[in-house]
Chains A and B, each alone.
Chain A
Amino acid sequence: MEWVNAVIQGILLGGLYALFAAGLSLIFGVMRLVNIAHGDLIVLAAYIALTIATTLGLNPFLALLIVIPVMAGLGYGLQRMVLNQTLGDDILPPLLVTFGLSIIIQNGLLVLYTADPQKLSAGPIEVASLTIAPNLTLGVLPILMFAVAVAVIAGLQWVFYRSALGRAFRAVSDNQDVAQLMGLNKAHIFGLAMALSLAVVGIAGVFLGIRTSFDPTIGSGRLIFGFEAVIIGGLGNLWGTLAGGVILGVAQAIGAQINPGWQVLAGHIVFLVVLAIRPRGLFPRIEQ
């Protein structure tokens, strides 16, 4: 029963990893940009939520109403003012600029908030649980987290394939120049894609902060989890990313069950194994 419990906890944790990954997957799909600062932006969102929650006395879930638009606005501005200048055939500039951004955010947070671990307090929901079977109790928070992840992926899927904005995303993704000729403003579309990506990052940051304590240095770890979920699931497939997150979560939960020191290591090993046997991920959709 211990093992069943571990696997189920892992599946639910996978929802959080899918949230880490969804924004990464989205901007890679639209503009082939890999944002190395993605994890640090998740941590930044958690700190913004912390500041709002403590100064206004709000529940972190209510703080989302402010965090999401703030992060989206930040994403749009960042893309228009900085990242658009780096896009082109050469992969080096976007990589190095987002790497620099990651260092700036991390150290900026250290200056503002120190290295002390912080946590978002969501009240009684944190300890609420449902008893499914005699020996199986699930926390309400992990279930909620997983449900939100599924909803976010479904929402992104809808935007990408059913809305006018998604049509613009797919057009610039297929051919930037032709899309531009058809009257789409590439710079603006990229800005919107980054805004959407960081809106998801805002949600991910709040859930991260409620689930565990956080400090300014943990961003790169979150980037790596998100990245692993994307690659395991297969590039360009949002539902695949959710599956990748779940596989990663289960691998970590099983690793932790064997030896607490193996939790993260087990996830990395599963990632490397997938890379060895299915280099394009389990459910690939786009050509690299």
Chain B
Amino acid sequence: MIRASEISIVQSSRAAWIAGLVGLLLLLALLAAPYWAGRADMRLLSEIYLYLALACLWNILAGYAGLVSVGQHAYVGLGGYMLFALAMFGGINPLVAIPLAGLIGGVASMLVAVLIFRLSGAYFAIGTWVVAETFRLSFAQVSALGGGSGTSLPAGIVTAIGDGRDGREAIIYWGSLGIAVLVLAAIFLLLRSRQGPALKAIRDNELAARSLGIDIWRSKFIIYVGASTLTAMVGAAIFLQKLRISPDAAFSVNDWTAFVIFIVVIGGIGTLEGPIIGTIVFFLLRETLADLGPSYQLILGLVAIVVMLRAPQGLWGFVRSHYRIELFPLTPRAIDSQSKKDI
């Protein structure tokens, strides 16, 4: 017989402490990449960080808030275009323009949410896609930003970012890493806050969550706007690295939605670890198979369907069901106050 006073609830675990330590060391090594990595490696790493951020953000929408969007490329593109517009017409330093582009994306997402939250479930999904298409076609009409064929960031703006090509690339690299860390930290803190359990309740059963007094619309609205703000920041960073933007590249459903969904599904939807594993798997596949062209995407589609049908919890779900391990301390466990052992 255990009395309640002998039980305490904890979220941390030894695995989480180790993961945190390894993560910190890894972060330090990655911060120093401009001193040890080549130019091509740094580009690849930046791309990995930005995809990781997109995947985590899509995961929080679909895996936690039940907002299955297939239109987040709307905010990637909007963020990219806002960066170009602010830098070219506002004379704002591109690094400062990244958070501003995020804010603009956030404001836009509030207006969008009011409209498309009227659609539910799968219709919501396609509604988000219509919004992204509307953005794409609208930006194709803006001749100051190059219309349908797009535009490049003027050389004067690019050189103002940093000293020399190496300095510039290092700054853009740190920017991408910073955004990925910001996104991961924001999501971790969100899930540790009061909103975290509320979100999990909504994910598991909306009706039950509402009966517990959770304001579903408000929770979803906050998540949607927050995720879209950060997605727009990621978009701005993506196109700062590319230095060129066009409507088709900025609002590409393939690049910014299909691949992102693939990453999350493969890694494990509804977990914080899933998108990290998925990103690693995705880039391993891409670096080995991308030469196959369309066949490569065909394989990705097949893998995603098989995973969804046979192992809907993804790779991380598979690991966790066998080893009961967690790298981010988010699941409350009951332990004995004295012995500190699981009950």
Residue ID in chain B nearest A104 by CB atoms: B301
Contact of A100 among B62, B118, B141, B308 (CB under 8 A): B308
* Also in contact, A36 and B137, with CB within 8 A (given A97-B308, A271-B130): no
Q: Quick one: which of A110, A223, A279 contacts B118, CB cutoff 8 A?
A: A279
Known: A91-B68, A104-B302. A275 touches B116 (CB 8 A): yes
The digit string for B280-320, where 1 denotes a CB below 8 A from any CB of A, is 00000000000001110110111011001100100000000
A272-B134 contact, Cβ under 8 Å, with A101-B305, A111-B295: yes
A-B contact count (CB 8 A): 119
Contact between A100 and B126, CB atoms less than 8 A apart: no
Cβ of B125 within 8 Å of any chain A Cβ, yes or no, is yes
How many chain-A residues does the 8 Å CB contact rule pick out? Answer: 44
Pick the most buried of B129, B265, B298, B312: most chain A CB atoms within 10 A of its CB.
Answer: B298
Taken residue by residue from 92 to 111, chain A's Cβ proximity to chain B (1 for < 8 Å, 0 otherwise) reads as 11111101111110111011
> A73-106: contact bitstring with B at CB < 8 Å (1 yes, 0 no)?
0000000001001100001111111011111101
Residues of B within 8 A of A228 (CB): 130
A227 interface residue per 8 A CB criterion:
yes
Q: Do B130 and A268 have beta carbons less than 8 Å apart? A: yes
Question: In the complex, A276→B111 CA distance in Å?
Answer: 11
Q: B160 interface residue, CB < 8 Å from A?
A: no
B112-164 with Cβ < 8 A to chain A: 115-116, 118-123, 125-127, 129-131, 133-134, 137-138, 140-141, 148
**What 1/0 flags go to B87-131 for Cβ under 8 Å of A?**
000000000000000000000000000011011111101110111
* Interface of B (DSSP majority class): helix
Q: A104-B305, A275-B127 are in contact. Are A34 and B122 (CB under 8 A)?
A: yes
Task: Kindly state whether residue A261 has any CB partner on chain B within 8 Å.
Answer: yes
- A268 CB contact (under 8 Å) in B119, B134, B265: B134
Contact B116 A100 (CB under 8 A): no
Additional pairs, 15, CB under 8 Å, beyond known A102-B301, A107-B297, A261-B140: A32-B122, A36-B125, A97-B305, A99-B70, A103-B298, A104-B298, A104-B305, A220-B129, A224-B130, A264-B133, A268-B133, A268-B134, A275-B118, A279-B118, A279-B119
| 3 nearest A-B residue pairs (beta carbon) | A34-B122, A103-B301, A279-B118
Interface on B for A, CB 8 Å cutoff?
A: 62, 68, 70, 115-116, 118-123, 125-127, 129-131, 133-134, 137-138, 140-141, 148, 253-254, 258, 261, 265, 269, 293-295, 297-298, 300-302, 304-305, 308-309, 312
- A-side residues, CB < 8 A to B, are 32-34, 36, 82, 85-86, 91-97, 99-104, 106-108, 110-111, 220-221, 223-224, 227-228, 231, 261-262, 264-265, 268-269, 271-272, 275-276, 279, 288
